[in-house]
Amino acid sequence: MRGIRVRAHWSVLFVFALILFGLAEGGFPEAGPGRPTWQYWFASAVTAVVFLLSLLAHEVSHALVARRNGVPVDDITLWLLGGLARLRSEAAGPGAEFRIAGVGPLVSLALGAVFALTAWLVAALFGAGLVVEALAWLAGINVLLALFNSLPAAPLDGGRLLRALVWWRTGSRLRATAVATIAGRCLGWALVGIGLYLVVVGAAFSGIWLVVIGWFVIVMATMEGSQAALREQLGGIAVSEAMTPGPETVPATATISDFLTDPHYRFRHSAFPVVDDGNTAIGLITLKSADAVPVEERPSLSVARVSMPLEEVPTSQPGDPLARLVPELQASSAHRALVLEGGRLVGIITTSDIGRVTSRLNSSSVWSRRTL
């Protein structure tokens, strides 16, 4: 979809089954009794699929607006509690943050209006029926999705809108994130409390569902706050101060057999940059991907054919701010970034390197406080 990979977590099957059984065994038979059972199940299955497509439209809108505002998008994953568009970096300013966050609820609200209008038209032309009930349900759930996501608490879209507003008013990205994080934790604990109360009074299913959603909000809000604090801590530090210069490389012309049998590569790291004769980086090869190549193909298959393309590997220049690279590094499945200068490989940086820098900064901070 316009170069954006779409993935589905296994928990999407649980959501599909929940909607399918809930509507087929409860909602639809109660709204339109007397029909054959297969009609309820068919209508429920179609409704569940359209709902998942609505979630996808919500996330695609985030991804497309993010791209228009200069924020690269890795992929979109649908899962148990909705969807997640994985962005490689943060918005450059509060205006871009506001646009990226705000478009999702607007799309869900628009879908709700379209489904409601369509339900009204179908009812006016053909009378009430399963189609009208399905459209009405889709209208309601999309409006509910828009309203819930608009709550001013991280990691919801409303939390990002709050973050953009505070960022604009204070000029501090970190303070804005802290406010959204606190709001997210408060909302999460409120949902957990309401869920536990519902469990006590007998509404166990609804209560457990709210507890799960609340705990998810708490965890994600805390994670966003921690990542923001990390980026603030790394402010003013260049990539060159954290990278490993002159990393071990693999020639693009080497075969998979050469790569796997040479102990020089096998026992030091789990991934290596792949370069051509001029030391220009062309990708990244992992031991896992090389091991997956059938044994009979290894002597004839080059490393370049199996390596992760450079477009999928985070890259940076030595003088770039380290804080700007962190979100992209954390979002990448490669877990490392190549440092390039004029296309030539000059270093590599991993999440472990980031950890060593932060440990050094924390140690320096403790030493400074002790000497004061």
Which residues are catalytic, by number? 59
Dmax of the chain from CA atoms?
81
Q: For 59-63, which contacts have Cβ atoms below 8 Å and span 24 or more sequence positions? A: 59/83, 59/84, 59/85, 59/104, 60/1, 60/4, 60/85, 61/103, 61/104, 61/106, 61/107, 62/100, 62/101, 62/103, 62/104, 62/157, 63/4
Backbone torsions φ then ψ of 340, nearest 5 degrees: -120, 150
* Best CA proximity match to 48, nearest among 75, 68, 22: 22
Sheet with strand 82-87: strands edge to edge: 5-8, 73-79, 82-87
- Burial code (b: 16+ CB inside 10 Å, e: under 16) for 288-303 equals eebeebeeeebeebbb
3-class SS of residue 85: strand
User: How would you class 337 by CB atoms within 10 Å of its CB: exposed for 0-12, middle for 13-18, buried for 19 or more?
Assistant: buried
d(CA 265, CA 271): 9
d(CA 180, CA 158): 9
Q: Give Cα separations from 213 to 23, 89, 122, 209, 216 (angstroms).
A: 21, 26, 35, 6, 5
Q: Which two tokens stand for residue 137?
A: 């349900």
